[in-house]
Structure 1
Amino acid sequence: MSLKGILRNWFERYLSDEEAIVLLALLIGGFAIVIWFGGALAPFFTALVIAFLLQGVVAWLERRGLPRLLAVGLVFLLFLGALLALALIVLPLVWNQLVELVQEAPRMFASSQLWLDELQARYPTVVTPDQIQGWIASAGRQASTLGQRALTLSLASLGSLMALIIYLVLVPILIFFMLKDRERLVAFLLSLLPRQRTLMTRVWQEMDDQIANYVRGKTIEIIIVGSVAFITFWAFGLPYAALLGLMVGLSVLVPYIGAAVATLPVAAVAGFHFGMGEQFFYVLLAYAILQALDGNVLVPILFSEAVDLHPVSIILAVLFFGGLWGFWGIFFAIPLATLIKALVQAWPRGESDQAVITEES
């Protein structure tokens, strides 16, 4: 068969359905808008995500008999209260601890050099002086790079104060109207779509519950894990407890890798503060118990409608979408991978394939 015939058969098999072509164009257009205009539309996307999270609370209050406008107003006031607490309490505390950690870094670096020298003296055949010099040089380069990035971030933050003000004003306004006029906005979007949208409805129904379960569950997991980590580190008297707790909470965004990466700063701060004594191992034991409870108790409870994806697919999605969109790419890596899987399963195929799928189901 010629190449032209192969392409024609492939087109008739996968793109002969008019709705499939419209859905493909919408997906390509949506991804193009996010990639090219994501920076300019970042306040809108941020408000959309937060409104999606708060909509579940609004719906819960409506089921309890509250009028929608009253439920929206109550949830919005709670959101503003949480936002003010974050801006006035949590962020200044984390920032102050970050500044203290940067100031403490040279002394921690010198302490680590002494520890490496002691390690080399105890195990001269395992740890050589060349290895120690290589580790010290590598750590020095990383520390220098980190300092330059912190300085660049600080200078950039001074110049983006207006952008921060825009976020603080514009995002809450967008969230309020997205919650208040949700039905009108959804009806307007549906009016732009074709009337025949069986495929879109099938994909959306498969994705709706999974996305809602994942986004809300992941947000709750970040809050619980970060708060418990902060309380645990504070109870042990570990310095920078708020900073480390925030880091541990955000580490749950990256499956399989985040917990291992967050272990390094926790162990480094604990080792520098307590030394290699019993208190150091107690901190690591408490951290290990926290991670075990998160993976074996909290995650199954929060993600009752678990996303059926292979670990390799999850890691690839995190790497790809994280590299593409940063924090939000990591946050939505699993829902986006689930969307791709739902599209592959629901996409119309040729009659022979549809018959096989019908027999298998």
Structure 2
Amino acid sequence: MPPTLKLQQALPWLALALATWWLVGRLAPVLFPLLLALVLAYVLAPLVQWLHARRVPRWLGAGLALALVCTLLLALVLIIVPVIVKQWPLLREQIPALLERLNAWLVPHARRLGLDIAVDVDGVRQLLRSLLSGHEEQVLAHLLSSLRIGGSLLVAVLGNAVLMPVVAYYLLLDWPALGARVQALVPPRWRAALGSWWAETDAVLGQYLRGQLLVMGALAVYYAVALRLVGLDLALPVGVFTGLAVFVPYVGFGVGLVLALLAALLQFADPWSVAAVAAVYGVGQVLESFVLTPRWVGERIGLHPVAVIFALMAFGHLFGFVGVLLALPASAVALVALRRLQALYLSSPLFGPPPARGE
């Protein structure tokens, strides 16, 4: 086929791709909850299929799967929120006491160096008193005013929260037929290659999701139990949060560690208890990095740690926090494509030996 003819055939596809990219950018706020619903349906589809194979109707299986997800989220909220609400007023008394202990240690060491350094505990106490008590009515009025001003945003958030499970439910009902319709749109000459690529990608993503859920559950139990053994009052919410937050690599562990150390500093009077909390997280990181993740996740995906860090930074820069969440699954899909490109390159004449003389 002449190059000019190939270019003429490629131009309509290029124009279609650019128009699709522009349309997706314009409709991003509308498409985002639909995309989340599609991801939720993809995650729950194997469970619904498993129930359907055991003679559970798809409509009932989809409802049970979504009800399970909603129940888990509700249980997480009921575990964490009451403890935070109970502990929040105590910060007004705990933080000044912590700063006084810091002053008792800092001032003598600073004087030895000829420095006059001290934390203004009274000023911090007054600031906390103004923030945490005495102005609840003003805060509530300001909150209600903000909700009235941003009413459309609030309605959009609540609407998306209701819309996502509804869309996911209908997608789960029609999941096999939806896959067949998408496959029917693929040109016949490409179906074998794309079908093989999708089967490999689906296997990698499925292994990643199952392995990640196992790691999250195991670490949530470990952190909650270990922090309780060292005497931390907030062991359950902080431990469960840390275990579930490891879904965001490095970031989740770091946030959990900061929360645990802050809670330990506010509760304990001796540094050894704080060190015990830090040791719990050190053991947990070793357990995650060298036992759980390599066995249940890492070997199934095959991403190098440097590639993981780069993917997190790149997706976070491009798409924000949602990009951090999607970095590893998207990298797993890209890894499958790169493997295919590598195999194509290794079998191409470009990589092969040069032709013999006379050919």
TM-score normalised by L of structure 2 = 0.72
Q: Secondary structure at the match of 1:303?
A: helix
- Pick from 14, 35, 55 the counterpart of residue 67 of structure 1: 55
> What does residue 346 of structure 1 align with?
340
> What does residue 357 of structure 2 align with?
none
Map 1:207-226; keep pairs closer than 5 Å: 207-226=201-220
For structure 2, which runs of at least 5 residues remain unmatched after alignment?
A: 133-138, 354-359
Which amino acid is the alignment partner of residue 67 of structure 2? L
Which amino acid is the alignment partner of residue 73 of structure 1? L
- Pick from 283, 296, 316 the counterpart of residue 277 of structure 2: 283
Answer with 1 or 2: which has the greater Rg. Answer: 2
Residues 203-226 of structure 1 deviation map (CA, whole Å, 9 limit, x = unaligned): 423322112222332234333323
Contact 2:34 / 2:164 at 8 angstroms: preserved in 1? Answer: yes
Which amino acid is the alignment partner of residue 55 of structure 2? P
> What does residue 44 of structure 2 align with?
54
Contact 1:120 / 1:129 at 8 angstroms: preserved in 2? Answer: no
Which amino acid is the alignment partner of residue 48 of structure 1? L
Counterpart CA distance in 2 for 1:216 and 1:209 is 11
Residues 234-277 of structure 1 deviation map (CA, whole Å, 9 limit, x = unaligned): 45442333442343124313334542442122112112202225
- Pick from 175, 180, 195 the counterpart of residue 173 of structure 2: 180
Q: Give the deviation of 1:29 after TM superposition.
A: 7.2
Is 1:119 the counterpart of 2:98? The answer is no
Counterpart CA distance in 2 for 1:294 and 1:307 is 16
Equivalences, count: 332
Which amino acid is the alignment partner of residue 119 of structure 1? W
Tell me: CA distance 1:173–1:188, structure 2 relative to 1, closer, same or farther (3 Å): same
Structure 1 vs Structure 2 CA RMSD: 4.4
TM-score normalised by L of structure 1 = 0.72
% identical equivalent positions = 22
Tell me: CA distance 1:161–1:350, structure 2 relative to 1, closer, same or farther (3 Å): closer
> What does residue 5 of structure 1 align with?
none
> What does residue 40 of structure 1 align with?
30
Which amino acid is the alignment partner of residue 110 of structure 1? P
Q: Secondary structure at the match of 1:217?
A: helix
Relative CO higher for 1 or 2, CA cutoff 8 Å, sep ≥ 6? Answer: 1
Map 1:67-146; keep pairs closer than 5 Å: 67=55, 69=57, 73-74=60-61, 76-84=63-71, 86-87=73-74, 89-121=75-107, 123-124=109-110
Which amino acid is the alignment partner of residue 120 of structure 1? L
Counterpart CA distance in 1 for 2:335 and 2:116 is 50
Contact 1:58 / 1:75 at 8 angstroms: preserved in 2? Answer: yes
Q: Give the deviation of 1:183 after TM superposition.
A: 1.7
Q: Give the deviation of 1:318 after TM superposition.
A: 0.9
Q: Give the deviation of 1:80 after TM superposition.
A: 0.6
> What does residue 247 of structure 1 align with?
241
> What does residue 197 of structure 1 align with?
190
Tell me: CA distance 1:254–1:169, structure 2 relative to 1, closer, same or farther (3 Å): closer
Contact 1:217 / 1:303 at 8 angstroms: preserved in 2? Answer: yes
Counterpart CA distance in 1 for 2:93 and 2:65 is 43
Q: Give the deviation of 1:154 after TM superposition.
A: 6.4
Which amino acid is the alignment partner of residue 303 of structure 2? L
Q: Secondary structure at the match of 1:95?
A: helix
